[in-house]
Amino acid sequence: MKRHKINWRVPKGAELTELDKKVLFYQDKGHLVPTRQLIKTPEQIEGIRRSGVINTGVLDLVEKEIHGGMSTAEIDKLVYEYTRDHGAIPATLGYEGFPKSCCTSINEVVCHGIPSEEEILEEGDIINVDCTTILDGYYADASRMFIIGKTTPQKEKLVRVAKECLEVGMEAARPFGFVGDIGHAVEKHAKKNGFSVVRDLCGHGVGVEFHEEPDVEHFGKKGTGMLLVPGMVFTIEPMINMGTWEVFIDEEDGWTVVTEDELPSAQWEHTFVMTEQGLEILTY
């Protein structure tokens, strides 16, 4: 018989809470459950929420200022200055050697595009701007797609469907459901629209660190993956491709993720806290 992972441990001498009983019930049935450390306290959630306000403000500013003819380095400058002016830190700057304050991913770039003076936005481009903010040690993470001027109907549809994938993923995430429920819903919606879902990258727990458990994959089966427990904070960030789901990393910079067939990709991301009623969005 396969031994299952014992993640949820009740401190010695502590009285069993209703939450303990519920989580232990799932753990005893062999499901993967979070550790107690992944359940954020009300104070931590408040801290992440405050960080999320700045994170949303950053992307609102980008939305207001982004235009054809600007370089992605200019976007990065906006992100850096707004974040610092609000007493926060851009999490990507210096993270594992990443040189900039946000990721700017244009057309066939799936994610982790590095802002550059040489990269100029042109009419018809679609671009994902991904920002993570640290305020008082708390992390909030979100990304949005922007269409520069007028683009093709196919690219417009890709951007729209990627956003819908995030929304169906949100709806599928219920307290005491499973991470796999999210992936199942996202993949089904993408495929129905003739698109594919990137498998090599995923959403993640976030809040007191940049990346925490669980991995939130955007494909999969219902009822699999980690149990979703109130108090967990995580991102849903489906990367939806026009062609194949396969990707490669640019060898020159070691960061930029590109679609294998070099067809366009789109992504939207929010940070959420799971509540007794369902998901609450902490950053748009």
The pTM score is 0.96
CA distance linking residue 24 with residue 217, whole number of Å: 24
Q: What b/e string do you get for 8-47 counting C-beta neighbours within 10 Å, with b at 16 or more?
A: beeeeeeeeeeebebbbebbeeebbbbebebbbeeebbeb
Q: Is the pLDDT of residue 1 over 80?
A: no
What would the pLDDT profile of 203-256 be if each residue is shown by its tens digit? 999 999 999 999 999 999 999 999 999 999 999 999 999 999 999 999 999 999
Q: Residues 283, 268: contact at Cβ < 8 Å?
A: no
What would the pLDDT profile of 97-147 be if each residue is shown by its tens digit? 999 999 999 999 999 999 999 999 999 999 999 999 999 999 999 999 999
Q: Is the pLDDT of residue 5 over 90?
A: no
SS3 category, 144: strand
